[in-house]
């Protein structure tokens, strides 16, 4: 379906042309004086300059023309030359009836759906998911779902960090813990065990222990009163361990079979756990690829960069310049190979692009990561374009997000200052919501537990998504789980409320007759109707701008409009059955639009709460 604003604009344009003015002046915007009108056109002011006339006269001409049509119940020319508009109630009702009859609620189908890779999640294998990864998963999932709802071919890839130093650290820590394993016996020639030599909880302990071992902090030890002698010994041990880890990483990257076998175990155990964790967030990926998958493309791509004369040696490393004339500050070149030949983050991303081109040749790429990675992505995109790995018209964009902070304004931590694990964070929210639900004690404990999970997820995701992605935000559990205000639970509460009215109506009526929506009978009803009608516009804009917060703002406004309307309107006791059926049709549509929006945001509503 066409967007309402577009329809208004078409009407305005033909009125301007009919009066002898250029159509470009017929622009419609939402009214900034909602007390006077719903929409307005300010084009007469601009046209006045072009035609050397008074704006009010031009507005007057156009208004006279518009009044011949049926789209507006009000169209006025007001000083100095505004055109104030209110849509005809019948027109709006007809629009909503069409939306209600459409499975896609008025979203246009794509003539040419785009294939778009969404690179998000970005978990690092064997390191527990922490809140830093939360944002990427939550925002990325929503962007992917938006595109999908609009009819594009969206491919989500988790792009695991699975090829770095953490692997060498784990291998060496495992050697220290279980030296008897065949992976560490160079004379071993048999087949390696199928069973992993660790469980997920061991693995979760192995990495942090190893990482600490490799980074002995002399200053801290000194503060704690450790003797210089002991410090020197520990420092040496730490250095030796780190060297072993580097070596093991290198050997793994060169394909040394025992380490490859360990790596496979790490991948299997860790991926299973990641899938569970992402699942709890209602986040799912089409592809479970990672940095390791990119490695086989790297030698060729580096050769290609050299052959094209793009890559050159600089201080032992191989680099590509990425500066462009329009840059306001100088950007450092992209390092594609370090002096020791080791794999690099940027090179992995370039290799991944080669693979994605081969497998999908996407129209566009969207990457979602911490905004501190902006330079990295600028470098990767520019090298990819310069080298022709992607065509000039393929869009590559980076959506960088801010930090989730605690109430103290510093990056969110556990109570004792540690890094908060995602699953603990989720458990905390669920528990808080559970307590709130149990305050009223209208449902069984079991149902309350289930509902708390659904509501908790909405609280968490809405709390994140309702902020502009690039901004930092404060994780405030009490505010996020509140049933009032701009929160996930408030939206769910509104949906649940509508569901309950609908079920009462069904009990009362016994049948579902046709529910034709009639023109609004009150101002609150008209507001609700106009808000519903914006759905296709909001979703398209939010996707084009990669701005889930615009959907949040929309459903918050829509919920407020519904609650205001419902407050004024006695739906269930209405005697005029046609009127009642119309309202039921209207709130059904409101519920469907709200539900479609939260589905896109990545959460759902419970039956009751
Ligand atoms: N694993 C990375 C991290 O934890 C994020 C990956 C982002 N995606 C990418 N293609 N580089 O920082």
pLDDT tens track for 125-140: 988 778 778 999 999 9
**pTM listed for this prediction:** 0.94
Distance, CA of 116 to chain centre: 14
Ligand 1: residue of 119, 122, 396 to mutate (most ligand atoms within 8 A of CB) is: 122
Assess whether the C-beta atom of 119 lies below 6 angstroms from ligand 1.
Answer: yes
The percentage of residues in the chain with a pLDDT greater than 90, rounded to a whole number, is 88
Rounded to whole angstroms, the Cα distance separating 154 from 145 reads: 8
Show the CA angle centred on residue 540, arms to residues 5 and 521, nearest 5°: 45
Where does the pLDDT of residue 536 fall: very low under 50, low under 70, confident under 90, or very high at 90 and above?
very high
Cβ neighbours, 10 Å, residue 543: 23
pLDDT of residue 432: 94
**Ligand 1 atom index nearest CA of 377:** 11
Q: Whose CA is nearest to atom 5 of ligand 1?
A: 122
pLDDT of residue 501: 95
pLDDT at 485 over 90: yes
CA of 379 to the centre of ligand 1 (A): 14
**Ligand 1 atom index nearest CA of 345:** 11
Assess whether the C-beta atom of 210 lies below 6 angstroms from ligand 1.
Answer: no
Assess whether the C-beta atom of 265 lies below 6 angstroms from ligand 1.
Answer: no
pLDDT at 515 over 70: yes
**SS3 at position 77:** strand
Check: CB of residue 556 under 8 Å from CB of residue 565. Answer: no
pLDDT at 511 over 70: no
For the four alpha carbons of 215, 219, 224 and 228, in that order, the dihedral sign comes to: positive
526 is written with which tokens? 């008209």
Assess whether the C-beta atom of 55 lies below 6 angstroms from ligand 1.
Answer: no
Assess whether the C-beta atom of 159 lies below 6 angstroms from ligand 1.
Answer: yes
Region 375-394: what's the mean pLDDT? 98
Assess whether the C-beta atom of 531 lies below 6 angstroms from ligand 1.
Answer: no
pLDDT at 111 over 90: yes
Assess whether the C-beta atom of 124 lies below 6 angstroms from ligand 1.
Answer: yes
Rounded to whole angstroms, the Cα distance separating 592 from 495 reads: 9
Q: Whose CA is nearest to atom 12 of ligand 1?
A: 122
pLDDT tens track for 24-34: 999 999 998 88
pLDDT of residue 368: 97
Assess whether the C-beta atom of 161 lies below 6 angstroms from ligand 1.
Answer: yes
> To the nearest 10°, the Cα dihedral for 41, 43, 45, 50?
-170
Assess whether the C-beta atom of 137 lies below 6 angstroms from ligand 1.
Answer: no
Check: CB of residue 251 under 8 Å from CB of residue 259. Answer: yes
CA of 414 to the centre of ligand 1 (A): 23
The position carrying tokens 């580096």 is: 302
pLDDT tens track for 175-226: 999 999 999 999 999 999 999 999 998 998 999 999 999 999 889 899 999 9
pLDDT of residue 292: 95
CA of 399 to the centre of ligand 1 (A): 12
Ligand 1: residue of 117, 127, 155, 159 to mutate (most ligand atoms within 8 A of CB) is: 159
Rounded to whole angstroms, the Cα distance separating 482 from 437 reads: 11
Where does the pLDDT of residue 512 fall: very low under 50, low under 70, confident under 90, or very high at 90 and above?
low
Q: Select the more confidently predicted residue: 151 or 417.
A: 151
């Amino acid at each position: 379906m066409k967007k309402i604003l577009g329809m208004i604009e078409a009407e305005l344009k033909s009125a301007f042309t009919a009066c002898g003015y250029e159509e470009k002046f017929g622009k419609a915007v939402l009214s900034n004086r909602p007390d006077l009108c719903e929409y307005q056109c300010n084009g007469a002011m601009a046209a006045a300059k072009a035609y050397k006339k008074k704006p009010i006269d031009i507005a007057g001409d156009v208004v006279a023309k518009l009044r011949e049509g049926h789209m507006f119940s009000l169209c006025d020319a007001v000083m100095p030359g505004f055109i104030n508009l209110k849509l005809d109630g019948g027109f709006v009702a007809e629009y909503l009836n069409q939306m209600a009859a459409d499975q896609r609620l008025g979203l246009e189908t794509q003539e040419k759906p785009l294939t778009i890779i969404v690179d998000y999640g970005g978990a690092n294998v064997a390191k527990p998911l922490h809140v830093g990864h939360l944002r990427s998963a939550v925002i990325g999932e929503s962007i992917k779902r938006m595109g999908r709802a609009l009819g594009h071919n969206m491919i989500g890839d988790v792009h695991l960090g699975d090829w770095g130093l953490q692997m060498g650290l784990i291998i060496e820590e495992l050697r220290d813990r279980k030296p008897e394993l065949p992976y560490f016996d160079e004379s071993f020639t048999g087949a390696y065990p199928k069973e992993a030599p660790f469980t997920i909880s061991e693995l979760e302990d192995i990495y942090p222990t190893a990482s600490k071992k490799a980074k002995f902090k002399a200053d801290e030890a000194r503060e704690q009163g450790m003797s210089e002698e002991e410090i020197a010994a520990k420092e040496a041990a730490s250095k030796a361990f780190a060297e072993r880890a580097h070596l093991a990483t290198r050997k793994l990257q060169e394909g040394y079979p025992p380490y490859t076998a360990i790596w496979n175990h790490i991948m299997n155990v860790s991926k299973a756990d990641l899938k569970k964790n992402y699942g709890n967030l209602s986040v799912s990926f089409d592809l479970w690829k990672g940095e390791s998958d990119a490695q086989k493309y790297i030698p060729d791509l580096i050769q290609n960069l050299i052959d094209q004369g793009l890559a050159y040696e600089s201080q032992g490393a191989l680099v590509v310049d990425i500066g462009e004339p329009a840059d306001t500050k100088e950007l450092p070149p992209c390092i594609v190979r370090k002096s020791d030949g080791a794999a690099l983050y940027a090179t992995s991303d370039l290799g991944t692009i080669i693979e994605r081109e081969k497998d999908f040749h996407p129209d566009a790429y969207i990457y979602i990561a911490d905004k501190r990675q902006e330079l990295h992505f600028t470098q990767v995109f520019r090298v990819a374009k310069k080298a022709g790995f992607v065509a000039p018209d393929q869009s590559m964009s980076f959506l960088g997000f801010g930090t989730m902070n605690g109430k103290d304004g510093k990056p969110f931590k556990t109570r004792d200052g540690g890094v908060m694990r995602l699953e603990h964070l989720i458990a905390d929210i669920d528990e808080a919501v559970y307590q709130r639900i149990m305050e009223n004690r209208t449902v069984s404990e079991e149902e309350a537990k289930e509902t708390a999970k659904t509501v908790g997820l909405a609280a968490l995701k809405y709390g994140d998504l309702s902020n502009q992605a690039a901004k930092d935000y404060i994780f405030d559990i009490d505010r996020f789980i509140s049933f009032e205000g701009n929160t996930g639970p408030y939206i769910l509460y509104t949906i649940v409320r509508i569901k309950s009215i609908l079920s009462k109506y069904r009990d009362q009526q016994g049948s579902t007759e046709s529910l034709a929506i009639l023109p609004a009978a009150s101002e609150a009803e008209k507001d609700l109707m106009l808000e519903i009608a914006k759905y296709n516009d909001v979703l398209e804009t939010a996707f084009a701008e990669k701005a889930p917060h615009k959907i949040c703002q929309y459903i918050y406004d829509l919920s407020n409009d519904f609650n205001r309307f419902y407050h004024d309107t006695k739906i269930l006791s209405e005697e005029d059955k046609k009127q009642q059926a119309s309202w039921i049709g209207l709130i059904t549509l409101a519920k469907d639009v709200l539900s479609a929006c939260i589905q896109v945001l990545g959460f759902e509503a419970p039956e009751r709460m």
